Structure 1
Amino acid sequence: MTIKRTNDIARIIMFVVTVFTVALFLLPMLYGISGSLKTKEQLSSLNQSPIPQSPKTFEYNGKKCELFIVPIDGAEKTLAIIKKGRDESVFIDPENPGAGQIVWEGKWRTLQNEWEFDPQFGNYKKGWKSINFLLLFRNTLFYALITTFGTLLSSTFVAYGFSRFNFRAKGKLFIILIATIVLPSAVTLIPVYTIFYKLGWVGTWLPLIVPHFFSNAYNVFLLRQFMLGIPREMDEAARIDGCGPIATLYKIILPQCVPAIISVGLFHFFWAWNDFFNPLLYLAGHPEKYPISIGLSSFSNMYSTETHLVQAVSMIACVVPFLIFVVAQKFFMQGVVVSGVEK
């Protein structure tokens, strides 16, 4: 086997694996979109189609009759059922209604419907009216935007300190900081809640916002690694021109860290948008402050049998993060690839 043939086979395998992986992640989203456009009956059917469909009908004597594929005289024909019976049903040919009624012997439930593409866009309208989306969007945007600003501000300063300055126990402090990533949140849950409770912050936005102004180990690590790739000669040149540490950060470091900063901001924004546990813990009993994650959970509990509406409101909740990702995807892809070639 030649090297070229081996490379071609490897590329084909990589392509197949990539397509399979992408499809695996997209299937839940595609199912959600499809389910949001179906009727309640179709979504609950065991033999449902992957696309939104409804049975074709034919109007006969002012009544809508379903179309079925009926075997007649060794052939299959599409007929409209006008009278259903256990062992005998009456049909009519929609293409030639004047030909009269057709009596067919057999169980009509064994017949297959004639389907047509019929997306139920009204599900989105019903879902929007069933829940106060404007309030939920406002609360979620407030929570996501202000915490994103806080984590970017604090993480940038901490990452700048670890990447550009030398001080005692710098390595040990950084290891301790990174070690907090693997610390289970359940370990600190009760102590942190007790502190916020004694401060009188439970029931307010403060427990959700203030901690993000004290940096995040994961974000600090990403920004520090990116800053380490910026030549120190640029810092020295800025120092010669009279720039202090803050001016150097503002004029030299930050302009080159835009992709990494946007990536960190997007990571945190998406996390805050989907955060469920923390708002549930600290905002319990204050529905006027609920973000969209809590609102969707409450809606799902109230309309548990209306699965098509639950799917619709879930898709509406994904619109803002999706649009933000589409707009910022160029910088996002640049930021997540932390390598000397990319920078």
Structure 2
Amino acid sequence: MDAHTKRIIKVNTEKFIFHAVVILLGFIMLYPILWMISNSFKTSAEIFGNSSLIPQSLRWDNYVRGWKFNNAITFGTFFKNSLFYTVVATFGAVMSSAIVAYGFARIPFKGRSFWYACMFVTLMLPYQVVMVPQFIIFHRIGWVNTFLPLIVPHFGGVGFFIFLMVQFIRQIPMELDNAAKIDGCNRPMIFSYVVFPLIKPSLITAVIFSFYWRWDDFLGPLLYLNRPRQFTVSLALRMFSDPQSSTDWPAIFSMGTLSLIPVVLVFIIFQKYIVEGMVTTGIKG
């Protein structure tokens, strides 16, 4: 066997090992999701008695029973609440963060470095630190049992998104702003027609992260929403579990599977912008 053949065998062996390891790790990461989808088609006895990912029979009635919930309120109500909360809060967080980021990156004002440092510190501040003071404030102004405490704070900007967009805006040449000023544009027009279209990758990245965080949010709705008709999907899934009686596990898994659909669709549609938004490489000629 000559050297060239040995080299080809070595390269193919390395490729085989690499792909085998990647497939194995991918299966390990996807196993919890596959397990949940599989259990959504099983009976309660089969869930705890059969560890196979292939159900013995497809029980579509689990989805029907889960969607009906308690007949008075269907799961469609919870999906509407989650979509409303997620979409409005995401819009407020992304748009306000873009405006604040433009101010930090382009507008010189007194104390800019100090306020930027304060914003940066909020990235390291756990939500549990501000949870109690915020609840007291929102309770005193009568916002409890509404979506306002969950949505309004996001219209003040999100520290992580501001930091991300500031880095992206700084990569945009100032010559574009100066050219727009010569053409008679003021700062709002420069932001709207010059800067905003050029930071689309970072905007979409912020949309993806915000959508995921708000859709999966459990603690926020748990604190501020007490009426079942206002509950989001995350709270509704918790209501399926009843410690005082038998828990309908197939219905939980079926609705949990449906709750993944919006998240998966958002990822599939915008996945190409994730790396592009996180790695700021500047303007390419």
Question: Under a length normalisation based on structure 2, what TM-score does the superposition of the two structures give?
Answer: 0.87
Give the secondary structure class of the aligned counterpart of 2:197.
helix
Distance 1:341 1:18, change over 3 A: farther
Pick the structure with more strand per residue.
1
Give the structure with higher Rg (CA). Answer: 1
Q: Any conservation in 2 of the 1:334–1:342 contact (CA below 8 Å)?
A: no
Displacement of 1:124 in angstroms is: 1.4
State yes or no: 1:44 paired with 2:40: no
Aligned to 2:241: 300
Displacement of 1:213 in angstroms is: 0.7
Q: Distance in 2 between matches of 1:33 and 1:296?
A: 15
Among 25, 31, 37, the residue aligned to 2:29: 25
Aligned to 2:63: 124
Could you give the per-residue CA deviations for residues 118-172 of structure 1, whole angstroms, max 9, x where no partner exists?
3222321221122511211111111111111111121011111111122233223
Q: Distance in 2 between matches of 1:20 and 1:220?
A: 37
Could you give the per-residue CA deviations for residues 30-82 of structure 1, whole angstroms, max 9, x where no partner exists?
1111111222221110x5322112xxxxxxxxxxxxxxxxxxxxxxxxxxxxx
Displacement of 1:264 in angstroms is: 0.4
User: Which moves more between the two structures, 243-252 or 296-305?
Assistant: 296-305
The number of aligned residues is: 276
Give the secondary structure class of the aligned counterpart of 1:305.
coil
Give the secondary structure class of the aligned counterpart of 2:99.
helix
Consecutive unaligned residues in structure 1, runs of 5 or more: 54-117
Displacement of 1:340 in angstroms is: 3.5
User: Which moves more between the two structures, 251-260 or 122-131?
Assistant: 122-131
Q: Distance in 2 between matches of 1:17 and 1:165?
A: 50
Counterparts of 1:182-201 in structure 2 under 5 Å?
182-201=124-143
Q: Any conservation in 2 of the 1:238–1:248 contact (CA below 8 Å)?
A: yes
Displacement of 1:190 in angstroms is: 1.5
Could you give the per-residue CA deviations for residues 153-210 of structure 1, whole angstroms, max 9, x where no partner exists?
2101111111112223322321221111111222212211111111121122211111
Aligned to 1:289: 230
Counterparts of 1:1-343 in structure 2 under 5 Å?
15=19, 18-45=22-49, 47-53=50-56, 118-130=57-69, 132-284=74-226, 286-301=227-242, 305-340=247-282
Distance 1:17 1:253, change over 3 A: farther
Aligned to 1:81: none
Distance 1:342 1:334, change over 3 A: farther
Give the secondary structure class of the aligned counterpart of 1:204.
coil
Identity %: 36
Q: Any conservation in 2 of the 1:263–1:335 contact (CA below 8 Å)?
A: yes
Q: Any conservation in 1 of the 2:165–2:203 contact (CA below 8 Å)?
A: yes
Give the secondary structure class of the aligned counterpart of 1:300.
coil
Q: Distance in 2 between matches of 1:7 and 1:249?
A: 51
Q: Any conservation in 1 of the 2:171–2:283 contact (CA below 8 Å)?
A: no
Q: Distance in 2 between matches of 1:260 and 1:153?
A: 12
Q: Distance in 1 between matches of 2:142 and 2:22?
A: 50
Q: Distance in 2 between matches of 1:7 and 1:245?
A: 57
Structure 2 letter corresponding to 1:293: S
Q: Distance in 2 between matches of 1:248 and 1:289?
A: 40
Q: Distance in 1 between matches of 2:179 and 2:246?
A: 63
Q: Distance in 2 between matches of 1:121 and 1:298?
A: 21
Q: Distance in 2 between matches of 1:304 and 1:238?
A: 66
Question: Under a length normalisation based on structure 1, what TM-score does the superposition of the two structures give?
Answer: 0.73
Structure 1 letter corresponding to 2:171: G
Displacement of 1:334 in angstroms is: 3.0
Q: Distance in 1 between matches of 2:30 and 2:232?
A: 25
Consecutive unaligned residues in structure 2, runs of 5 or more: 1-6
Q: Distance in 2 between matches of 1:142 and 1:276?
A: 15
Distance 1:280 1:28, change over 3 A: same
RMSD of Structure 2 on Structure 1 (CA): 2.6
